[in-house]
Amino acid sequence: MHNRNIWFWLFLTPVILGLGLVVVVPFIYGFIFSFTDWNGITATKFVGLQHYINLFQEDEFMASIWFTVKFAIITVILLNIMGLGLALLVTRNIKTNNLLRTVFFMPNLIGGLILGFIWQFIFVSVFEDIGMLLGVESLTGWLSTTSTGFWGLVILTAWQMAGYIMIIYIAYLENIPKDLIEAAKIDGANGFQRFKNITFPLVAPAFTVSMFLTLSMAFKIYDQNLSLTNGGPFNSTQMVAMEIVRTAFSDQQMAFAQAKAVIFFFIVAVIALTQVYYNKKREVEM
């Protein structure tokens, strides 16, 4: 091996070790052990597809998947509407636009765990007091039922991440040539026509990017789930990520939990690969 290759490998060794020992080896190891009776340390025999058959029959896991899917669909729609709305707002020529960007983006910098605790206070105490003050009964008892827990998680996530999606839309909106808009104005196009015929088509790629980004974020949420509802009441607001953590570290069923983790990987990978496919297709069209 000559000199050229030695430095190539020297430069790559740290990250190959890092990715290898932290991601690749555990991933393969976990995949293999999901077909055994592994207890986290040793495995004594192969059980074939037994864990995979069991997990599809386990109500709790399937419920967590449906809960996550419902949550993901609603947050993706909401986040994109809010993100685009906020982006359109702060790209207008208003005095406060920088300050507003700062404010809308701020929740993204704070961890989901802390934000979940803050919103627990908002939903439980603040909503209660506002509800009593205005005599609105539906504002009381939040997070104590499945549906208020669900909507609590949606509101928290939308509030936390809308600023992030806003940043993505801003990047695309600011790339729209100003003279295009001016030309349309001179031609007599009104605000709605300008949005529909110029802004929207040019911002459409941002929609693909942020839709998949939010979709995979929504699927992987754990911290907010833990601190806001802790899966309750009666595990009815438990998302997939939390269900896997609990199967492993509370129930100590390592191999079974790992089988769920493998299924989880396939779901997330399919979402991500679909995005890659669409992006490539779009680039070809452009």
Partner 1 sequence: MKKNTEKRNLLSIEVLGIILGLIWIAPFYLMIVNAFKTKREIFSGVLGLPETLNLDNFVQAFIDLEFLKSLFNSVLITGVSIVIIILFSSMAGYALARNKSKLSGVLFLIFVAAMLIPFQSVMIPLVSIFGQANMLNAAGLIFMYLGFGCSLSIFLYHGAMTGVSKTMDEAAIIDGANRFQLFWYIIFPLLKPISVTVGILNTIWIWNDYLLPSLVLSEANATIPLKMFFFFGQYTKQWHLALAGLTIAIIPVIIGYFFAQKQIIKGVSEGAVK
Q: Which residues have C-beta within 8 Å of that of residue 247, sequence separation ≥ 6?
A: 61, 253, 256, 257, 260
User: Residue 258 Cβ, how far from partner 1 at the closest point, in Å?
Assistant: 5
Residues 193-252 that bind partner 1 (CB under 8 A): 209-210, 213, 219-220, 222-223, 226-227, 240-241, 244-245, 248-249
Between 14 and 135, name the residue whose CB sits nearer to partner 1: 14
Under the binding rule (CB under 8 A), the answer on residue 49 touching partner 1 is no
Instruction: Answer yes or no whether residue 97 interacts with partner 1 by CB under 8 A.
Output: yes
Nearer to partner 1, 130 or 183 (CB): 130
By the 8 A CB rule, do 248 and 257 touch?
Answer: yes
Count of residues for the chain? 286
Interaction between residue 189 and partner 1 (CB under 8 A): no
At closest approach, how far in Å is the CB of 137 from partner 1? 18
Contacts of 120 (CB under 8 A, 6+ apart): 143, 227, 228
Of positions 63, 69, 74, 89, contacts partner 1 by CB under 8 A: 89
Please state, as a whole number, how many other Cβ atoms lie within 10 Å of the Cβ of residue 156: 26
**Position 93 contacts partner 1 (CB under 8 A):** yes
**Under a CB-based contact definition with an 8 Å cutoff, are residues 104 and 90 in contact?**
yes
Min CB(5)–partner 1 separation in Å: 8
Q: Angle CA(160)–CA(79)–CA(223) in degrees, nearest 5?
A: 40
Provide, rounded to whole angstroms, the least separation between the CB of residue 4 and partner 1: 8
Q: Using the rule CB under 8 A, is 1 a contact of partner 1? A: no
Q: Which stretch binds partner 1 (CB under 8 A): 29-37, 53-61, 72-80, 144-152?
A: 29-37
Query: Which stretch in 52-60, 65-73, 84-92, 192-200 sits in contact with partner 1 by CB under 8 A?
Result: 84-92
Question: Does residue 192 touch partner 1 according to CB under 8 A?
Answer: no
Residue 86 CB coordination number (10 Å): 21
Give the one residue of 49, 73, 81, 106 binding partner 1; rule: CB under 8 A: 106
Among 78, 84, 86, 211, binds partner 1 (CB under 8 A): 86
Phi and psi at residue 206, in whole multiples of 5°?
-60, -30
Q: How far is the CB of 241 from partner 1 (least distance, A)?
A: 5
Burial class (CB in 10 A: 0-12, 13-18, 19+), 149: buried
Contact window for partner 1 (CB under 8 A) among 111-119, 142-150, 176-184, 193-201: 111-119
Q: Categorise residue 100: left if φ over 0, alpha if ψ from -120 to 50, beta otherwise.
A: alpha
Residues of span 130-169 touching partner 1 by CB under 8 A: 130, 133, 159, 164, 167-168
Instruction: Confirm or reject binding of residue 90 to partner 1 (CB under 8 A).
Output: yes
Smallest gap, in angstroms, from Cβ of residue 14 to partner 1?
4
DSSP one-letter code for 46: B
Long-range contacts of 97-104 (CB under 8 A, 24+ apart): 101/163, 101/166, 101/167, 101/170, 104/162, 104/163, 104/166
